[in-house]
Structure 1
Amino acid sequence: MNSNHKKLFQYSALVVAIASASAGASAATLEEVVVTAQKREQGVNDVGITVNAFSGETIREMGVASAEDIAMLTPGLTVNETAATGVPAYTIRGVGFQDYTTSSSSTVGLYFDEVAIPYTVMSRGAIFDVQRVEVLKGPQGDLYGRNTTAGQINFVSNKPTEEFSAGVSTTIANFGVVEAEGHVSGSLSEGVRGRVAFKTTQSSEGWQKSLTRDDELGEKDVTAVRALLDIDLNDAATLSLNVHYVDDQSDNKANTAYDGRDAGLGQFSAPHLPLDQYIIPGGDFFEQTPPFYSTGDNRAADWTNSYTSEETGKTWNLRPRRDNQLFGGSAKLEWDLGDMTLTSLTAYDKFERAEANDWDGGAYNDSSNINTTDLEVFSQEIRLSGGDESFNWIVGAYYSSDEMEEYYHYFMSDSVYANAAAPFGVGLFAPTPIKELDTKYSQETDSQAIFAHTEWQFAENWRLTTGVRWTNEERTWTGCTFVAEDDTLGNFLEAQFPVALSPGDCGTVPDANPEFIGLLLAGFEVDGEMVSPEQVAAYFQPYTDTIDEDNVMWKLGIDHSLSEDVLVYGTYSVGYKSGGFNGANSNTTLQLIPIKEEKLTSLEVGFKATLLEGSMQLNGALFQYDYEDKQEQDRAVALVGNISGLTNVPESEITGAELDMQWSPAEGWMINAGIAWLDTEITDWMAIDGAESSWTPDGSGVVRFDASGLELAQSPEWSYNLLAQYEWSLASGMVMRVAGDYVYQDSTTGGSQPTDATDAYWVANARIGLSSADGNWSALLWARNITDEYYFPAAYTGGNGPYVRSVGMPRTFGVTLNYNF
């Protein structure tokens, strides 16, 4: 047993002592949220796992508009960007994958009405008409379809009702935002119930202001609709149909460039234009502060609107924007067979996008990209469940198949790889600058699993939970960075090798091919004869590889009811996440070698106590993770320098604690509070030293250093939130309420990438509302980030050269009117 396990067992004694002291509490008066975390309805305080659950009302009042916003409500959960590619990265308790490529699968499982969303780029649609959201922490592999290590986020929609109901909500806010949401629900005929819900958000006014010109960014144009139909096929069987569509034509957020010395870094990662005019003697603005740097103003940013190629004359629209559509549907059959229930869940989702993003935070063109993505996901789950008060069981099988095609057009004419090379004296690129890249790849994934889960009340007040899941996953990837239409990559490679390449040819150097390396070392001679450029070009082909993995995940849990109001529990579980491929721009094929699966072993103890005669719910948990082969960003040592790579970190450890409370101290009062503490450490990793490494044909130029002792990325030591609300009746019979909430997140180191470090920040929100006594109508005046706090949940190198931050929203305020028919 390692030292962290010993500490955890010592802490567990304290947990039991606290819970035991509370054992005399009476029946709860707080309303308990019902969850389906274990595939059946249970009170959240009766489940022996750590779950943060939020009702639909809480979601609406807190202004949650997307899956990413849930992090503001949940200590221990962070959602950030790792680059400007439109791909959010979810992290729970320090378990996350900081990869920005679309093909990357998340450590956090995302489920919408039980259907897995395997790629986080698909999760940015609107959240509306939600019954509840559940955040499950720790490995949950025995009951959920896709392989993850961190936990799950479940979004559960409101279901069709027997009685007619309808409602509409309208919001008017600053920055010209107008939002409308509504639903209609009820019986369509005997045994048939339906529900249609919609949401649209529109804004013609941007919230970001350009630092160098009269321009704004941040317009919104999102429309989403969902139709649900429940059909009673007979007395024992119900078919539930779900069809949904999201269309997003909004602006994307731009980055803000800053002087890296403000964060203990160099001024920039690599030089770029027009920085030469500010740092090279003789420049027009030598020793002046560049106007595209900004800190302290969360509206300030800059971006590139267009680029015209000097080689082709073609003009590209690079203004950050989305043209994204998600369409899908599912069919769930529940059939009561007497002693057991058969459930079948079939789902299909199709996601398409043509999206532009600006990495570099400036009107210059160091790094911009246009992503064109096509994704199709199919899944089928069949399960049998049954049981009684003492024993419940679930067995099932799961299959999923998804196909992805990604076209990633990258622009970098002002970077050190292109026009900045000459003024800054970078001889490798000055004669043959690389201005555009075409990265294209496809990925096919098939996953199948069988699983079993049991809950056994083996003695009075004692319950044993077991779970096991076998999974096979096969993932095939084919891709390359191709010579773009401007042929600048082809010209560069022809200057380095005796090769003939044209636009559309693969331009990734085949250094994983021993034959090519042999030719390179031999000076491209065979028997004293030079190899022809056409023969060398034959080695420049898309890289293809397949991962085929089998794994068994399992869980063992035990919980004990000290009284009707106090539950203590312990869980030991093992989860894994399958390996994957690097979808970034590639210069060499060694950069594309797949990373292998990661494994997480979790030990957790906790308690759930109803105190103070039912007016307080206090839940706590202590956990320790052994993290094996964590998937992580690293440098890839390539011909052009050190660029984006992925690797496995052999060993890491995570220890943490969480506490959350709901308390009604007096009539009309409600106080919610949550706090999370994390201690993360890499214990074994020889990482690449980017400053000392260089590309060589035999790999001898790669230099490594001992990275043990580093923290993991997106792992704030402390995070907490606090909400206070007071509600009272007026003489007229109406109800008034005021509420305020406060969210804090500690600083992060960025883990292996110090450029990804973030400062500590806090955000405060406030609301005042008036409603009818019967709840048929309400008016809510609200303000978010009321102090206009400057904060940045994400930071990173902005593509090639500048350091950038992705800032949070400034102060927003508005009014929301609700009416229920």
Structure 2
Amino acid sequence: MYEMFRNKNNIMLCSGAVILSMATSAGQSIAATAAGASDPLPAGQSVGVESHRATLAAGAEEITVSESRNIFGHAARQHEGVSVTHIDTHALAQHQVTDVKGLMNLAPNLTVQPQGTGSSVNFTLRGVGLSDFTANNTPSVMTYVDGVALPIGYMAGAAMFDMVGVDISTGPAGFTHGQAVTAGEINITTAGPTQKLHYGTSEDIATYNRSITNLYVSGPITSNLQYRVAAFTQQGGGFQKNIDTGQTLGNAEKGGLRGKLAWQPDEKTNIVFSGNWMQDNSQSAGAFNIQDLSRNTPAYTNNLDTSWGFRPEFLKLTGNSARAKPSYNNTFWGGSLNFTRNLGFADLTTISAFQQMYVHNLMDLDGTHYAIYDDSVSTNANLFSQEVRLSSRPAQQRVKWAVGMYYDRTDMKSTFFNDYTQSGSRPYMQRTSYSQEQQAFSQYGHIRVEVTRKVHLIAGITHESDDRTLSNMETLRYNTSLYPTPFDARYGRHGALANQFSGMGGVEYQALKSLMFYGSIRKGFKPGGFTANNTVVESQLVPTKPESLLAYEVGFKSDYFHNRLRLNGDAFWYDYHGQQVSGLAFVQNYGVVGQYLNVPKSRIWGVEMEIDANPVPGLLLHQHIGYERGNYEDYSALDSTAMTVAYIRTGVLSPYYRSYNHVDMGIPKLTLQGSASYKAALGRKWNLTPYVDYSYRGAQQNIPGNPLYRISAYVLLDLGLTFGPESGRWSVSVYANNLLDRHYDLTRETGLNGIFGVPGTPRMVGGRLRVDL
């Protein structure tokens, strides 16, 4: 067997079972395999414990092989029965992805939406997800940064910079690492320290006075100690306007810093310490008015229009300045320690991490200058996690296995202020506060057996116990001239305990050297949680039950024409039980409040296709196709449309229920992502690369039955041109994103006595200078 690594100027192939282990910050050894080709080591990526220096010292010989390198990379993954979408660092930079919301149009069947106009995010993958408006529940899609799970929406939505790439894995997870979830994972890998000195910077300037600056420096301190420091800052970009005053809204003002140290005390050990800090003082997104039943404000015809208006009493109560715009004041910091040791028969990996966040979001969710649904959210939370994993060495080909344990603990204190004073139905300000403690402990095991050279069997099991407690819950209404009666509700401690096994089994059939078929059955699990926002009755604190997902999947992976054409496809069928959804509850003499509910049974199915082609040298074509459908099979809930019609007619808000059995879940049915680029040589030293890419998302219906919640389908088209030397040491790019200037919505949600939306980014024209030395 032969494997590849890259030094500064050439690619060498060395004999031996394993010669390169790229130790990522997650501590997982990723060995490049040579089943036709291998993935080159990305520029700036750290070299692991078994460095190329040790390999050469052991007498590795330089040889030549006739196999062509796989230009699409990830050759080893083409022989694994899993569905993964990889987004490389070039695509992330090309689309100005600085947070997870930017991933939505780069992967099939993925939806990433802001929670209201706040900085928290919600994920849906293959139709499975939870709109968590209090960010205190386990997400269906878990985000990992360098192997550290971030189960809080605010943490997951923080900045992304100095990245190697992003891998989006679909279906129930938790059998090989981390925490069990039902929908899948988003694995973000940041660049690590290097054995040689590297440094670089990039500057991206675009319309709406947007500026994104990145810089890094990486290299050795001693022969066995390396470092990396990276930083970024983002400014401007506000494209919304106040329909009443003409003021702009949405300008970014954020920055971050990350430092890493990698130490190899001996040839079998690698220790990586990582520390991070980020500050976000940006203006928030603005809501646009779709329907206002409180003041009958006309719906905005342009979704880029917004408005806001905070009463002085509310700003004083929440500690904001008298002229505050909708804005964020968020601080994130933390660190992790990753230890990897070669024990001979296996690799031992431990990951210890701590993350702290202080979040303050000021939002005007009615999108008008009235005090109908003005919000101020303050959350102080920290997360500690510890993982220990033992995994087989890459040289053990016939049987590969991993066992491990994972523990996490979160402590959260949140306060929600609402100003409903001018709503008509709730003429007061309200404050809800609570504390939540949560801890989870899981154990997992995974094995892959090569029964024959062509047939591989896979099995996995995980057990997780999740225990969370909600305490110090209190709701206060503040005296106003319109509402003189005080209100003070305090609630006792509430607990939720989940304890469940999950499992999976699968088969891989390597029909040909470059063609593999696979099938799997996976049972996923996610614990229940609490509704903790705007709590006015004790019944709102009844926790949701855990949800489970039985996933069936078949697929194939293939490379043709000497690795110039790649075709991957899969089909999936989900039986969903206890699906957690953001629904509505009716409180007598109060009205409608948000509450998490369980849908007894749902069903989702779909297909996905990945097509990559390199028909002629320099020309790269990529296409992702995702199609999915979902239906509620057993679900009854409040009918918001009927309630709205009755309220308009009578002025009285009364509950109306409807059966949603066999009703479409409203997830986007078709998602498409495609790109084309051509690297043209200008002489021997220079390259000119034009590119075009597009994305299409089908219509989305967030709440069944009401067309006002429908997010229309849209197409985004991007064009660009990059010029630089063959060495890749620098480049200059010009681009136009959303060239057609499509106005589209990211989300549509329920406000108090109305509906509001949040717009996507309009056309952005800019340029980028990048230097890597």
Which residue of 383, 390, 408 maps to 2:416?
A: 408
Q: Hey, what does 1:778 align to over in structure 2? A: 731
1:86 deviates by 3.1
User: Deviations along 1:616-672, whole A, 9 cap, x unmatched?
Assistant: 111100000000010012221103112212210000000100001111111211110
Q: Within 1, Cα distance between the matches of 2:447 and 2:68?
A: 28
Match of 1:119 among 152, 169, 175: 152
**1:592 — aligned with what?**
541
1:376 correspondence with 2:382: yes
Matched, 1:576 2:525: yes
**Counterpart pick for 1:544 among 481, 493, 513:** 493
Relative to its length, the structure with more strand (as a share) is 2
Distance 1:415 1:680, change over 3 A: same
Can you give the 5+ residue segments of structure 1 that lack an aligned partner in the other structure?
1-22, 35-41, 261-267, 279-289, 419-432, 493-500, 507-540, 695-700
Deviation at 1:178, TM superposition (A): 2.1
Q: Of 324, 327, 352, which residue of structure 1 is paired with 2:358?
A: 352
Percent of paired sites with the same residue = 25
Q: Secondary structure at the match of 1:590?
A: helix
Aligned counterparts of 1:771 and 1:125: Cα–Cα separation in 2: 31
Q: Is the Cα–Cα contact under 8 Å of residues 141 and 469 in structure 1 kept in the other structure? A: yes
Match of 2:508 among 559, 568, 584: 559
- Which residue pairs with 1:791 in the alignment? 744
Q: Which among 286, 299, 306 is matched to residue 301 of structure 1?
A: 306
**Matched residues in 1 for 2:218 and 2:294: separation?**
57
Task: Report the alpha carbon displacement of residue 567 of structure 1 after superposing the two structures with TM.
Answer: 1.0
* 1:487-518 superposed Cα distances (whole Å, 9 cap, x missing partner): 689845xxxxxxxx56xx32xxxxxxxxxxxx
Q: Write the deviation string for residues 395-446 of structure 1: whole angstroms up to 9, x where unpaired.
A: 111111010010111111121324xxxxxxxxxxxxxx3x211010111111
TM-score, normalising length from structure 2?
Answer: 0.86
Does 1:450 find its partner at 2:455? no
How far apart in 1 are the matches of 2:304 and 2:710?
Answer: 21
SS at match of 1:416: coil
Q: Please, which of 649, 658, 671 is the counterpart of residue 608 of structure 2? A: 658
**C-alpha displacement at 1:306, in angstroms?**
4.6
Report the Cα distance in structure 1 between the residues aligned to 2:464 and 2:397, rounded to whole angstroms: 30
| DSSP 3-state at the match of 2:616 | coil
Letter in 1 for 2:617: E
**Conserved in 2, the CA contact under 8 Å of 1:118 and 1:146?**
no
Cα distance in 2 between the residues matched to 1:569 and 1:192: 42
Contact 1:573/1:603, CA 8 A, preserved across alignment: yes
Aligned to 1:197: 230
Q: Which residue is equivalent to 1:641?
A: 591
Q: 1:136 aligns with which of 162, 169, 188?
A: 169
Distance 1:310 1:189 in 2: 54
Separation in 2, partners of 1:199, 1:139: 34
Maintained 8 Å contact 1:439/1:479: no
Pair 1:468 & 2:500 matched? no
Question: Would you say the 8 A contact 2:116–2:758 is kept in 1?
Answer: no
Whichever residue aligns with residue 772 of structure 1, its letter is P
- 1:765 aligned residue: 718
**Given the alignment of the two structures, is residue 477 of structure 1 paired with residue 470 of structure 2, yes or no?**
yes
Q: Which amino acid aligns with 1:682?
A: Y
CA 1:199/1:594 → structure 2, altered by over 3 Å: closer, same or farther? same
Deviation of residue 299 (structure 1)?
3.0
Q: 1:702 to 1:254 in 2, by over 3 A?
A: closer
Query: Normalising by structure 1, what TM-score?
Result: 0.81
Partner of 1:30: 70
Distance 1:305-1:390 versus aligned 2 partners, 3 A rule: same
| Bigger RCO (CA 8 Å, 6+ sep) | 1
- 1:783 shift after superposition: 1.2
1:453-495 CA-partner distances (Å, limit 9, x unpaired): 1111111111111111111110101254522443689845xxx
The CA distance in 2 between the partners of 1:595 and 1:212, in whole Å, is: 42
In 1, the alpha carbon distance for the partners of 2:158 and 2:482 equals 36
Q: Over aligned residues, Cα RMSD in angstroms?
A: 2.3
| Cα distance between partner residues in 2 of 1:216 and 1:789 | 19
Mapping 1:84-483, distance limit 5 Å:
84-203=117-236, 206-258=238-290, 260=291, 268=292, 271-273=293-295, 275=296, 290=298, 293-295=299-301, 297-308=302-313, 319-387=325-393, 388-418=396-426, 433=427, 435-483=428-476
- Of 673, 677, 680 in structure 2, the residue corresponding to residue 728 of structure 1 is 680
Q: Distance in 2 between matches of 1:342 and 1:97?
A: 34
Deviation of 1:609 (Å): 0.7
Match of 2:212, SS state, is strand
Alignment partner of 1:55 out of 88, 91, 94: 88
Tell me, yes or no, if the aligned pair for 2:95 and 2:102 is still in contact at 8 Å: no
SS in 1 for 2:91: helix
Shift of residue 688 of structure 1?
Answer: 3.2
- Quick one: structure 1 residues 381 and 239, their matched pair in 2 at CA, closer, same or farther if it must change by over 3 Å? same
Instruction: Note if contact 1:711-1:751 (Cα within 8 Å) is conserved in structure 2.
Output: no
* 1:677 and 2:631 correspond: no
Match of 1:524 in 2: none
| Aligned equivalent of 1:617 | 566
Look up the equivalent residue of 1:578 and give its one-letter code: P
Note the alpha carbon deviations across 1:16-73, whole angstroms, 9 max, x for none: xxxxxxx9xx966433444xxxxxxx72212210000122122112221111111110
The 1:665/1:32 distance shift into structure 2, 3 A limit, reads closer
Counterpart in 2 of 1:607?
556
Are residues 311 and 74 of structure 1, via their aligned partners in 2, closer, same or farther at CA, if it must alter by over 3 Å? closer
Q: Within 5 A, what are the aligned runs for 1:702-713?
A: 704-713=657-666
Residues 147-190 of structure 1: per-residue CA shift (max 9 Å, x gap)? 31100000001111101111111111111122210111111112
- Residues 33 and 55 in structure 1, CA contact (< 8 A), matched pair in contact too: no
2:109 and 2:716 map into 1 onto residues whose CA distance is 16
Note the C-alpha offset of 1:707: 1.2
